[in-house]
Amino acid sequence: MRIARFSHHDAIRFGIVDETDLVVLSGDPMFTGFETTGERVPLSEVTLLAPVIPRSKIVCVGKNYRDHAAEMGGEAPAEPMLFLKPNTAVIGPNDAIVRPAQSERTDFEGELAVVIGRIAKNVSADNALDYVLGYTIGNDVTARDLQRSDGQWSRAKGFDTFCPLGPAIETDFDLGGGARVVTRVNGEVRQDGPISDMVHSVPDIIAYASAAFTLLPGDVILTGTPAGIGPFQAGDVVEVEITGLGVLRNTVRNA
C-alpha cells in the first residue's frame, strides 16, 4: 500500500494511491489507521507533500556503504554512525532545495528512508521491522565545505530544505528485493547502488538507534548513501529513484 500526503483545495490530507487516484483517508494513518472517507481525488489535481513531517527527529546513518566510506577517505564504521537532522529540514516532492549563502558546495546523497510507526525503545533487531510504518526516499543534502570546516555535522546537514522526502510511503517494500538507489542530476546518473550493499541493515540500525533514544511515530531514519556523491548548482534538477518507491524530484535555487 502506498500512502501519500497531499494538498487539495487548501486542505492537507492523506490518501492511498490507487493508480491515477488517491483514496482519501479520514486522518493521519499514523494515528487513525486506514479508514477511508469514500472520496477519490485524481492525482493530477493535488500537490504531493512530504509524506511525513517527523514529530521529533530525523536519524541519519553516516558511511553505511563501504564504497561511499572509501570515497570519503575512510572505512565503514564497525557500528552505525548516527547524527540528526531537524524536522525543519524536510521538504516534499518538487520543492526547491535552497543552497545557503554560507556554503560554496552543496551535495546530494540519495538514501532509503524508513518511517517509524510505533514508539520504539530498546527494540531488538529481530522484531525491529514491527515498528516500521513504511519506506520512502530521502536526500541527505549536505553543505560539504561546512561539514569539513565545522568538524561536526549539525549545521552542514541541517539547513532548511536539506531533507527532501517523498513521493509517498510504501508499506510493503521488500528490503531483500534487489532495490537500487539511483541519483540523477539533470538526467545524468551520479549514484547507482543496491541497498543490499548497506553495511548495517535496517533492523540493526533501528535496534542500535532505539537503544540510544526513543523513536517516535513519524520519526524518519535515513539509512546511508552509496558512492557517487557530488555537488549541484542553482537551476539543477536532482532526482533520487529507488526501485519500488518511485522518484523524488527537486529543483535547486540559491538563497
Question: pLDDT for 234-244, tens place per residue?
Answer: 999 999 999 99
Please say whether the dihedral angle defined by the alpha carbons of residues 107, 109, 115 and 120, taken in this order, is positive or negative: negative
Mean pLDDT of 10-38: 96
pLDDT computed for residue 75 by the predictor: 83
pLDDT tens figures, 146-195: 999 999 999 999 999 999 999 999 999 999 999 999 999 999 999 999 99
167: preceding bond cis by omega (within 30 degrees)? yes
* Topology (CATH) of 2-48: SH3 type barrels. (2.30.30)
Locate the domains of the chain by residue range.
2-48, 58-254
Is residue 45 over pLDDT 90?
yes
What the block records as the C-alpha cell of 73 is 577517505
Which pLDDT value is given to residue 168? 98
Q: Do residues 108 and 138 lie in contact, with contact meaning Cβ atoms separated by under 8 Å? A: no
Which architecture characterizes domain 58-254 according to CATH? Alpha-Beta Complex (3.90)
Q: Is the pLDDT of residue 12 over 90?
A: yes
pLDDT in tens, 94-145: 999 999 999 999 999 999 999 999 999 999 999 999 999 999 999 999 999 9
The proportion of the chain whose per-residue pLDDT surpasses 70, expressed as a percent, equals: 100
User: Phi first, then psi: what are they for 204, rounded to 5°?
Assistant: -65, -40
Per-residue confidence (pLDDT) for residue 216, from 0 to 100: 97
Q: Which helix (H) or strand (E) holds 157?
A: helix 154-158
How many Cβ atoms sit within 10 Å of the Cβ of residue 29?
Answer: 21
* CA pseudo-torsion sign 179, 197, 134, 82: negative
For 48-80, the pLDDT digits (tens) are 999 999 989 999 999 999 889 888 877 888 999
